[in-house]
């Protein structure tokens, strides 16, 4: 087992060996200075974070809006026709489109009367 004096000597040797490889103070502090230049000042940090968040939110909504935009232009409501309107066209539909007269037959509208035929 080693005694304390030998232990201390071993550590001294390690320290001496390390001393030969210590990077210069100027080198480390220059790197620190360069890092400082790249760093955003503390008081500007909330602004930078806020701006980044705003950009992220805007681009999210923009992307979302774009995905819901239809490919063709939207027609005006006055000209628009429902695509299922064709199913409403059935034989005799004109009977439902006019007001019936009291005492008359529905056939009168379909069969021309003799007086009308004579004129």
* Residue written as token pair 């056939």: 107
Can residue 31 be called a binding residue for other proteins (CB under 8 A)? yes
Can residue 96 be called a binding residue for other proteins (CB under 8 A)? no
DSSP letter string, 36-50: HHHSPPGGGHHHHHH
Specify the residue, 9 or 53, whose C-beta has the smaller distance to other proteins: 9
Binding mask 43-82 for other proteins (x = CB under 8 A): ----------------------------------------
Four-CA torsion 63, 64, 66, 68, nearest 10 degrees = 160
* 3-state SS, residue 80: coil
Binding residues (CB under 8 A) for other proteins: these are 1-4, 6-8, 10-11, 13-15, 17-23, 25, 28-29, 31-32, 35-36
């Amino acid at each position: 087992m080693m005694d304390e004096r030998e232990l201390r000597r071993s550590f001294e040797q390690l320290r001496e060996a390390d001393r030969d490889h210590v990077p210069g103070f100027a080198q480390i502090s220059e790197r620190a200075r360069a890092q400082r230049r790249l760093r955003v000042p503390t008081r500007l940090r909330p602004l930078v974070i806020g701006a980044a968040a705003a950009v992220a939110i805007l681009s999210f909504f923009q992307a979302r809006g774009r995905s819901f935009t239809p490919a063709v232009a939207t027609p005006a409501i006055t000209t628009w026709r429902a695509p299922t309107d064709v199913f409403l066209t059935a034989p005799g539909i004109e009977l439902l489109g006019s007001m019936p007269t009291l005492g008359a037959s529905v056939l009168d509208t379909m069969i021309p009367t003799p007086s009308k035929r004579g004129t």
